[in-house]
Structures are given as C-alpha cells and as structure tokens.
Amino acid sequence: MKRLPHSRPLLAVVAVAGLIGLQGCGKGKYTTEHTNAAKLKMNMLKSATEYQMAHQAFMAGDLQKANNHIDYSLTLNESVVKSHVLRGRIMMEMGNLERADACFKHAETLDAGNVDAAYYQGVLAERVARKEEALGFYRKAADLEPSNAQYCIAATEMMIDLARIDEADAYLRQRQERFVNNGGVKQVLGNIAMLRKDTRTAQTLYAEARLLSPENTAIVENLIRAQIANGAVADAEVNLSKLLSDRAMQDRRDLRHMRAKCLVQLDRLVEARDLYLELTKDRDGNADIEAWRGLGEVAFILKDTPRLKLCAGRLIAIAPKSPDGWILRGLMQRRAGDLAAAKSSFEQALELRRDGNTLVLLGMVQQDMRQNARAKESFREALRHEPGHTNAAALLASVPEN
C-alpha cells in the first residue's frame, strides 16, 4: 500500500492534536491555584513594603504620607493586625479619635491578644481623660506582655494620676524584680516617694535610675529636685550646669531659674545676679515675674540700690496684684531711712496678701519708728498666720513695753 505524500506517523498526529487541545482549553485547576498563590504572595510582600513606608513616614511626622501608605497596605492585605494599629495611631495624631478608636478595636477583634491594640486603646482613653478605662487597657497590655516594663509603667502612672498612690506602689513593687535594671521603673518609684514626701528615698531611687539610664534627662531633672528638697544644693547645681551645657536644654527657663536659686543658697550671688539678668533681658524676660523677683532679692543682698529700685518698679507694673514689688520697694526705703514710705509700702503689700513675713517686716519698721504697741500687734498677727515663725516670736519678745 502506498503512503500518502507528506503523511505523518499516527503517533505524531495524536501528539500534535493533544497539544492543540491543551492550548484551546485554557488554564487547569492546578495552574489557577498556583497563579492565585503567587498573586497573594506578591500582595503580601507589597503590603509589608507599604507598611514599612507608612511607619517611616509616621515616625518622621509626615502623617498624610503615612496615611496614604497604610491605606494602600490594607487594600493589599486587610488582615494584618499591626497595620490597623498603625492606622489608628495615625488617625489619633491627626485628631480623628473616633476613627482611631475603630481601628484599635478592629485590631483587637482580629487578635484579642495583640498587646499594641490594648496599649494604644489605653493611650487614646487617657488622651480623652477616661482614666479608669485607660488603666484597664494598660493593665491588660502589662498582663499580655509582662516582660515589657513600658506597659507596667503606664499602668502605674495612671494609678498615680488617679491618686491611688498605695495601689501604684504595690503594683509596681510586685513586678520590679523583673525590671531590676530598668531606669524607668526606678524613676516611677522615685516619683511615688516624692509624692509621699520621702525625698531621701526618692533621691536614692533617682540616682539609681540615672545610672541605669544615663541619657534620660527627665531622670536627671527628678534627681535635681530631690537634691534641692534634701538640701544637697551643691550637687543639684552641678547637675543643672551639666544639663544647661546641652544646647538643646539652654532655653529651659525653669532649669535656669532653679540654678539661679541654687547659686543664691550657695552664696554665689554675683553668678546668680548675672543669670537673673540674662533671664530678664531675653525674649520672655519683660514679663518673667520670678526672674525680676529673684534679681531684686539678689540686688537687695548685694546692696545694689539702683537695680533694686528697677526691680521693684518693674514688678509693680507687670504684677499689680502681687505684693512682691511693694515688699522690695519697702526694703529699699527702710534701708534708705525713709521709714514712713517703707511702712506705707509694706501696708500696700499686706492689702494684696497678708502673710507672716510681710507682717514681720511691717512690725520691724513700726519698731524702728518706736510704735511699739503696733509692732507687737504686727508680730502677734504674724504668729497667728504662721505659729512656727521663729523671727516673729523673737522680735515680739524684744519689743519694749513702751
């Protein structure tokens, strides 16, 4: 039998037909599943990348950019808990608290054991002054991750804000063995000691905290305040000098005021005067009542009459409801021998605020003027205001009968 021209073997024909059939039928089940899995994996990778970009933008303070990235991340993969938490944090910083709350709650729905969802619900509740609710979330976060001191500290500080000092102390001390090398825990225990007026214990705790967290300037500030309360003024002044040598801290007026007061107590009056002069001459100095008062007091001690006169007048002008300017003026007038004017100035100060010290000053001028009966009455009134006023008691005893 003759073979047809250009004929092919049957096997080849069948193979070609099978190939054509496969091409015509489209993707099989396995191929579709493989493609879907690859697409899902790609979306997860893209979602993770978008999350990282959102987090970086959030930390840099670019909230709108962060929001755009996290929105896209969630369209790619809606089931990522940390993405919902980050969106909530972004919304919270943008002032959209209702949406932030919804984001945190949705994250908690996806994973009830997510510590960040609990913690940031606490942050949000604290921001809107729902303190009890905030405490509940912080305690939950601390229970979910007991090895993280941040959550334990947050719960303790909320108890302190709620004036539950004993509870805060017990709560933190029960857990402090886990955080023996954590400066933040020592700092909060120091805060509790300060609230209890136990300044010596507080100073010890702050000193330990500083050793554990030497870069934490808030701990150094706490230590300085405890040192001043305990009379360790020289140590406090050294620490203040170190803090203020940092360029980032040089504009802290409160720290400069503290250092000036320390310098006065250390009898370094010229340095104190120079610091007060700086405080009165800078941008906010014109209205800084504390600086003008401090400068006036130093000027009185240094017998710098022109500057004392300037400070008295300035205080009367910027703080007309405060007795401080009148007291400084009265001190200047008494030193100058103008007793009638000094008496009038101290009486003016007493109209604004009656206190033991000003009554003693008035009594001293009255005694200088030989108005002994009036002087006695001033000293007695000073003792009624402040029964432990030793100067008033001594001066009262020294006044002649007539």
Cα distance between residue 314 and residue 301, in whole Å: 18
CB 366 within 8 A of CB 343: yes
Two tokens at 191?
């805060």
pLDDT at position 42 is 73
Cα distance between residue 289 and residue 292, in whole Å: 5
Two tokens at 342?
């000094």
pLDDT confidence bin for 7, thresholds 50/70/90: very low
Q: What is the pTM of this model?
A: 0.81
Task: Check whether 240 has a pLDDT greater than 70.
Answer: yes
Mean pLDDT of 361-390: 95
Convert the pLDDT of each residue in 216-232 to its tens digit. 999 999 999 999 999 99
CB 385 within 8 A of CB 354: yes
Task: Check whether 368 has a pLDDT greater than 50.
Answer: yes
- Look up tokens 């005021």; give the residue: 257
CB atoms within 10 A of CB 15: 12
CB atoms within 10 A of CB 77: 17
Handedness of CA 66, 71, 75, 78 (dihedral sign): positive
CB 158 within 8 A of CB 166: no
Convert the pLDDT of each residue in 27-78 to its tens digit. 555 556 556 556 656 767 888 999 999 999 999 999 999 999 999 999 999 9
Nearest to 304 by CA among 285, 324, 332: 332
- Residue length, the chain? 402
